[in-house]
């Protein structure tokens, strides 16, 4: 069974992270499947909206930590890089339906979505510093702009989690609904968007995104630092602690 499912409903392409036994943690293969789905959406005039969500009780727990470990050892290129490029340049409107854990890139990708619907169970966390890492997906640029510097600091420096209501109050999500209503609500919004004149919708999205500062440049800048941080001893300790289900010990690192 594929770890990313795609299904077309009318002119909406539904893309579902489908690795519930690992809380939909994202692997290189899953990033590649997402890139394909985004490219397909932009190339096919029959697709007017992309709707992303997660199977099971989570949106996604972020990058697979065991993949991080393998990559830091191999010094391989980031499989997330092409995903972030495709996500940040996606011309088709993107709706996100978020339930349960939205961790790391599970939260940062939402700054690139156009409409975000959250279930009450949604919990947003960007624990980059506690993993010895720095933010990605231009979140260091987009989150301060979206929710204000101090709130972004709580999320990105402290790695503080927030619930759905707080995310709604801070402007990160459009609407909070009961878990049982999440997909119906998100599908309703996607269908409303899809019924509007497609060119006008895409051009409006483009106009709003054009007003943003240099997102691609920030993604690259973050990625350079991220790559270095991945190879740091404190990141290695954080990843190993996760695998061993224990608290990390950073006392030996300056």
Binding site for ligand COA (CB under 6 A): 22-23, 25, 61-66, 101, 103-104, 127-128, 131
CB of 22: closest distance to ligand COA in angstroms?
Answer: 4
C-alpha–C-alpha distance, residues 26 and 36, integer Å: 15
Give least dist CB 105 to ligand COA, A: 7
Give the strands of the sheet with 162-163, arranged side by side: 101-103, 123-125, 162-163
First to last CA, the chain: 44
- The minimum distance between CB 83 and ligand COA, in angstroms, equals 14
User: What separation in angstroms does the CA of 19 have from each of 16, 26, 159, 176?
Assistant: 9, 8, 24, 24
**186's tokens:** 């998100």
Nearer to ligand COA, 25 or 97 (CB): 25
CB-wise, 63 or 140, nearer to ligand COA? Answer: 63
Cβ neighbours for 198, distance < 8 A, ≥ 6 positions apart? 45, 48
Between 64 and 114, name the residue whose CB sits nearer to ligand COA.
Answer: 64
Closest CA to 237 of 26, 69, 91: 69
Beta bridge partners of residue 97, listed in sequence order: 117
- Could you tell me the smallest distance in angstroms from the CB atom of residue 220 to ligand COA? 18
Q: Toward ligand COA, which CB reaches closer, 64 or 222?
A: 64
Q: Are 124 and 102 in contact (CB under 8 A)?
A: yes
Shortest distance, CB of residue 208 to ligand COA, whole angstroms? 27
- Give the nearer residue to ligand COA in terms of CB position, either 38 or 128: 128
Q: How far is the CB of 130 from ligand COA (least distance, A)?
A: 8
| CB contact at 8 A, 98 and 60 | no
Structure tokens at 22: 């690992």
Nearer to ligand COA, 40 or 227 (CB): 227
Q: Output the residue with the shortest Cβ distance to ligand COA.
A: 104
């Amino acid at each position: 069974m594929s770890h990313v499912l795609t299904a077309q409903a009318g002119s909406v392409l539904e893309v579902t992270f489908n690795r519930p036994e690992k809380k939909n943690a994202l692997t290189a293969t899953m990033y590649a499947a997402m890139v394909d789905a985004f490219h397909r959406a932009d190339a096919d005039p029959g697709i007017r909206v992309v709707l992303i969500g997660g199977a099971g009780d989570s949106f996604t727990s972020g990058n697979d930590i065991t993949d991080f470990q393998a990559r830091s050892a191999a010094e391989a290129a980031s499989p997330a890089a092409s995903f972030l490029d495709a996500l940040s340049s996606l011309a088709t409107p993107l709706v996100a339906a978020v339930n349960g854990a939205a961790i790391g890139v599970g939260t940062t990708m939402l700054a690139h979505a156009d409409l975000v619907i959250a279930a009450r169970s949604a919990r947003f966390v960007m624990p980059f510093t506690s993993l010895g890492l720095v933010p990605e997906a231009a979140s260091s640029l987009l989150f301060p702009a979206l929710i204000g510097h101090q709130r972004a600091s709580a999320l990105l420096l402290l790695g503080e989690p927030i619930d759905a209501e707080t995310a709604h109050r801070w402007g990160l999500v459009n609407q909070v609904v009961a878990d049982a209503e999440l997909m119906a609500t998100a599908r309703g919004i996607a269908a409303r968007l899809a019924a509007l004149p497609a060119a006008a919708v895409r051009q409006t999205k483009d106009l709003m995104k054009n007003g943003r500062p240099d997102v691609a440049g920030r993604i690259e800048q973050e990625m350079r630092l991220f790559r270095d941080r991945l190879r740091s001893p404190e990141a290695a300790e954080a990843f190993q602690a996760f695998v061993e289900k224990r608290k990390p010990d950073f006392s030996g690192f300056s």
